Amino acid sequence: MARMTYCSRGPLISTEGLNGVGKTYLTNRAVEALAVKPLMLDEFSQRANGRLGLGEALLRALREASGGDPFLRGGTPMAEALILMAIKRHDLDTVLTDLARGQVVVEGRSVDTTAVCQALLLHPDDPEAALQTAIDLLDLASSYRPLPDLTILVTDDTSKAVERAQRRDRRELTSEQVDFMRDAGALFEQLAATDPVRYRVVDRRVVDEYAAVEQIRTWINDAGSDLACLVEPWQRSDAVCMCCGQLTPVEAS
Ligand SMILES: Nc1ncnc2c1ncn2[C@@H]1O[C@H](COP(=O)(O)OP(=O)(O)OP(=O)(O)O)[C@@H](O)[C@H]1O
Ligand SMILES: Cc1cn([C@H]2C[C@H](O)[C@@H](COP(=O)(O)O)O2)c(=O)[nH]c1=O
């Protein structure tokens, strides 16, 4: 199903990558020098318990059911996947008016994390099946909400990311959690390679902090042109854009 009507909205950008890889640090540094600051949508760990709203209530339910597991694992990966997708849909709903007025929005993690983590839980010992399932989960997520226009994946050695996360959180990760992160890191990179149009990868193993910040700043700066209207992906007939209200017809493909 093809739809292509250009829109005056702002771009929706996500940052992805392992815990402690530096998504927040590098993105904050990158936007410091931008004249017009993007709206930053908090990562999950920044959302204090007690905040009101459906998204927070769903996240609280996942936290409780997973008994404090850093990856929100409660033993029912598909049910958790659907709740995580609902949270990310709720996140989009909360920024639609900002996108509509042309604001750049950066979400800390999006449905790619859901696809990677839940695919690994469904296929812990089968990397090929995990990649196919991550692709399929992303496809499912994209029927809940449009995918980001641009996804910035930050990569590094897992050991470096683990070290930073442990230092920041003053908490040791178990060897099982570190193994999960290693598998997630590999799967993030494989998933990114399947969609070079949406993904930009910044690899901290080959670029220093300053170059990484500069790359991210340029990508955010350049993300705002030629954006298509945002329509409900589940809507099969002609639909109006969620941002500008323009009618966007379904074209024969
Ligand atoms: N180049 C750097 N120099 C100094 N400190 C850094 C650098 N990169 C990251 N850090 C620090 O490492 C820690 C982890 O980085 P950050 O919080 O940005 O990771 P993250 O990818 O957002 O992780 P999470 O998904 O777990 O929230 C933070 O305390 C951050 O300040
Ligand atoms: C969105 C999302 C997150 N998680 C995990 C990843 C992290 O360990 C925690 C907290 O995320 P933060 O955004 O880095 O603070 O949640 C997940 O397992 N699945 C998801 O879809």
pLDDT tens, residue by residue, 216-241:
999 999 998 899 999 999 988 888 99
Reply yes or no on whether the pLDDT at 4 is more than 80: no
Secondary structure class of 206 (helix, strand, coil): coil
Cα of 21 vs centre of ligand 1, distance in Å, is 6
Q: 19, 13, 3, 28: which is closest to 212 by C-alpha? A: 28
Atom index in ligand 2 nearest the CA of residue 42 equals 13
Q: What is the DSSP string of 160-194?
A: HHHHHHHHHHT-PPPHHHHHHHHHHHHHHHHHHHT
| Structural domains of the chain in order of their starting residue, each with its CATH number | 12-248 (3.40.50.300)
Atom index in ligand 2 nearest the CA of residue 23 equals 14
Residue with CA closest to ligand 1 atom 9: 22
Q: Return d(Cα 201, Cα 37) in angstroms, integer.
A: 22
Q: What is the pTM of this model?
A: 0.96
Cα of 75 vs centre of ligand 1, distance in Å, is 28
Least confident of 40-44, 45-49, 99-103, 112-116: 45-49
Tokens 């959302």 found at: 47
- How many other C-beta atoms are found inside a 10 Å radius of the C-beta of residue 247? 11
Over residues 14-19, the mean pLDDT reads 98
Reply yes or no on whether the pLDDT at 31 is more than 70: yes
Q: Return d(Cα 108, Cα 161) in angstroms, integer.
A: 16
Atom index in ligand 1 nearest the CA of residue 212 equals 1
Reply yes or no on whether the pLDDT at 119 is more than 70: yes
Over residues 141-163, the mean pLDDT reads 97
Q: What is the pLDDT of residue 118?
A: 98
Is 14 near ligand 1, meaning CB less than 6 Å away? no
- The neighbouring-strand residues paired with 199 are 151
- How many other C-beta atoms are found inside a 10 Å radius of the C-beta of residue 215? 18
List of residues 6+ apart from 238 with CB closer than 8 A = 247, 248, 249, 250
List of residues 6+ apart from 115 with CB closer than 8 A = 134, 135, 137, 138, 141, 191
Q: What is the pLDDT of residue 215?
A: 98
